[in-house]
Every structure is written in structure tokens, then in C-alpha cells.
Amino acid sequence: MPLTTSLAAHEISCQRGGRLLFAGLNFTLAPGESLLVTGPNGVGKTSLLRMIAGLLPLHAGRIESGERSVPLPELCHYVGHLNGIKSALTLRENVDFWVDFLGGDGADLEGAYQTFGLAELKQLPAGLLSAGQKRKLALLRLFAAQRPIWLLDEPSVSLDTPSVKVLDKAIAHHLAQGGISVAASHTPLKVRFTRELSLKRDPLQ
């Protein structure tokens, strides 16, 4: 698994429920660059992230990474609105599943447990965690396997201030290592994003 790659979108457009959300979108991200997607609700921020992760088909255009040998979804970590954690499994079982399933080595995990303050809770069923703790658990997926592209959809929702700082640091570290990060967020993250993409609602629609 390559640790750095580039990401480029060419003339992509998105249609949801017969409505064109955006069209002719272009961006290129070199290793270490980051993109902040902004815009009002329902303008297609989540759809854009899901398209990059291969969870949503493109209506037109193409998205490609610099790494041709690995399919794009396998280069991406997607942390969306839903946390994707299993309430009946313990925190540790959730994370161990991601390590095995996503093909990681879990080398950065111990540190991540510590910095997110989840180290003491490893044996607790994930269903008992608070909303913020569940969010942090979902973010641990970023450390379960090393992947160059992080797609973060409102990553700081329900996080407390110290945890947002931890997240900021983690993203900055990821970028410093040559990773790419694409985030959609209303609350400003401290990370300085190298690019900003402002999606606007088409006045004609």
C-alpha cells in the first residue's frame, strides 16, 4: 500500500434524485495537500466525498489517483456521518476488525488510543460509549490501517475541544507525511487547508 499519492477530479458532476447538484468540478491535489469543501446544506459535500470513496457512482467525469495499480476506494479512509461501529462489539474488537479487514498493521494504534483518551475503555461494549466517544472510535479507523487519502465528513461533530485539537494534529501529521485529506466541515478546523472548494447552490434550480 503506497503511503503517498495524488488525487485528481476531472469535470465531475453529481446527480441525486434527478437533480443536478454540481457539474464540471475540477481539482488536483498533490501529496501533502488538503481540500476543504464548504457550502450550504444539501449542496453535495457528502456526495462529493462518497464519490471519491467509490460509494456513489459519478454522473459524469472521472476521479483518479496517481496510483494506478490500486483501486481508488482502497486508498481511501471514509469517515462519514454514520460511525460504522458495532454496538455489540467492544471498542477493541471494533478496532481489531478494522485492522484485519482494511489490511493495516495497527502500528500507530496504541498512540491513537492514548491521544483520543480511549485507552481505558478498550474492553467496553461500543454501545455504551457517548456520542463524542463513538465519534472518536470511528476516527480511530484512520489509524487502524495506513491509507493515503482521508475523506472526512464533518469529522469534528460532537467532539469536545481537546479532541478537536487532537484531530487537527492528526490531520496535520498525516499531511506532513505526504497524505491527502479532503474534509467537509461547518465548524472550522485549525488545520490550514491548502485548497478550498466552495460549492454553491445553482440559482436556476
Q: Does 77 bind other proteins (CB under 8 A)?
A: yes
Task: Kindly write out the interface string for residues 152-191 of this chain, putting x where it contacts other proteins by CB under 8 A and - elsewhere.
Answer: ----------------------------------------
Beta bridge partners of 86: none
Q: How many CB atoms lie within 10 A of CB 148?
A: 25
Residues 6+ apart with CB under 8 A from 64: 7, 8, 10, 72
Please give the size of the binding site for other proteins, defined by CB under 8 A.
Answer: 30
Which residue do the cell numbers 506532513 mark?
Answer: 176
Site for other proteins in 81-140 (CB under 8 A): 81-89, 93, 96-98, 100-103
Q: How many CB atoms lie within 10 A of CB 82?
A: 8
∠ CA 161-180-58, nearest 5°, is 110
- Which residue's CB is nearer to other proteins, number 45 or number 50? 50
Q: Does 54 bind other proteins (CB under 8 A)?
A: yes
| Min CB(196)–other proteins separation in Å | 25
Residues near other proteins (CB under 8 A) are 50, 53-57, 73-74, 76-78, 80-89, 93, 96-98, 100-103, 141
